[in-house]
Amino acid sequence: MKPDNEALCLAALRDFDRDRYLAALLTPAEKRASIVALYAYNAELARVRELVREPLPGEVRLQYWRDLLQGSGHGETAANPVAAELLRAIRDRGLPVAALVAMADARIFDLYDDPMESTQMFEGYAGETSASLIQLASLVLDAKAAEGAFDIVGHAGVALAVAGALLLLPVHKARGQVYLPLTVLSAAGLDRESFLEGRDPARLKAAIEAFAGYGLDHLRQARAAGAIPKSLLPAFLPVSLASGVLKRAARNGASALSHDFRAPQWRRQLAMLRLLVTGHL
């Protein structure tokens, strides 16, 4: 039997974003299809840089999603399971199209090698990517509760984006990309070029520790912003992994540029389950 679109999206998540795949499986069944659609859409956007050699084809791919969302798409939507499921989620859940378009716009940064200038710039990027994804998932789960969780979502999204950037350090370094803000590098006596060269372990460690600390500070602010409503906990499952990533990155220092320090899958699953049980990030 031919798999349905939700199954195809789940399979894509399993291949390209295992943590959100696991999070989707822990989402209430009646909400899962829409959450899977959002996560699969995010995975498609995040992969664009991997799929193209030059920025222009990447911009074309991002434009496809803008056109689709704004009602001017070309081609048969049904042939793209992610597109079909995303449009269904928008229709069924009343999701804001502008936020989904902004997610695609933010990914233009990924296509180029321009540095992240400041923590404010990073927060803007995180707000339109990881934080927006948490907020959209929250709207699916409980739209009323989501209205009162903006502060928690915002800080949690930045913490998750920092953790993601640290995990991808080896990939970004190979591409010549730097997601650590220049202000953080400068405080450690580095610039974009010296960071990519990686010849000063002590300064690299200082920069990575500072960036991880910045992520941990946002995680503390997310906790201080109040309790996560129980109905929204599934939207925060990926954030349950941020603390461990940030702490390990700070310990690993310069080696984070060349080694995968992600926790084993069983530990990641346990962290998600712990969040569902305790309600604490």
- Cα separation of 240 and 156, whole Å? 9
The reported pLDDT for the residue numbered 71 is 84
The b/e string for 189-225 (b: 16+ C-beta within 10 A; e otherwise) is ebebebbbeeebeebbbbbbbbbbbbbbebbebbbeb
The reported pLDDT for the residue numbered 75 is 57
Q: Is 95 exposed, middle or buried (0-12, 13-18, 19+ CB in 10 A)?
A: buried
- Cα separation of 188 and 205, whole Å? 9
> How big, in percent rounded to 5, are the helix, strand and coil portions of the chain?
75, 0, 25
Question: What average pLDDT does this structure show over 174-190?
Answer: 96
The reported pLDDT for the residue numbered 79 is 78
Question: What average pLDDT does this structure show over 74-97?
Answer: 87
Q: Residue 124 has what DSSP assignment?
A: H
Number of other CB atoms surrounding residue 259 within 10 Å: 11
Phi/psi at 118 (nearest 5 deg)?
Answer: -155, 170
- Cα separation of 48 and 55, whole Å? 9
217-273: pLDDT as tens digits: 999 999 999 999 999 999 999 999 999 999 999 999 999 999 999 999 999 999 999
Q: SS3 for 28?
A: coil
- Cα separation of 109 and 165, whole Å? 13
The alpha-helical segments, DSSP class H, found in 26-168 are: 29-46, 48-51, 55-69, 81-93, 97-106, 119-128, 130-141, 143-146, 150-167
Q: How confident is the model at residue 1 (pLDDT cuts 50, 70, 90)?
A: very low
Domains present along the chain, CATH in parentheses? 1-112 (no CATH), 113-281 (1.10.600.10)
Contact 209, 253 (CB under 8 A): yes
Question: What average pLDDT does this structure show over 152-165?
Answer: 98
Say whether pLDDT at 78 is over 90.
no
**Which of 76, 72, 82 is CA-nearest to residue 34?**
82
Dihedral sign, CA of 241, 244, 246, 248? negative
Q: Residue 75 has what DSSP assignment?
A: S
The reported pLDDT for the residue numbered 129 is 98
The reported pLDDT for the residue numbered 2 is 47
The reported pLDDT for the residue numbered 73 is 60
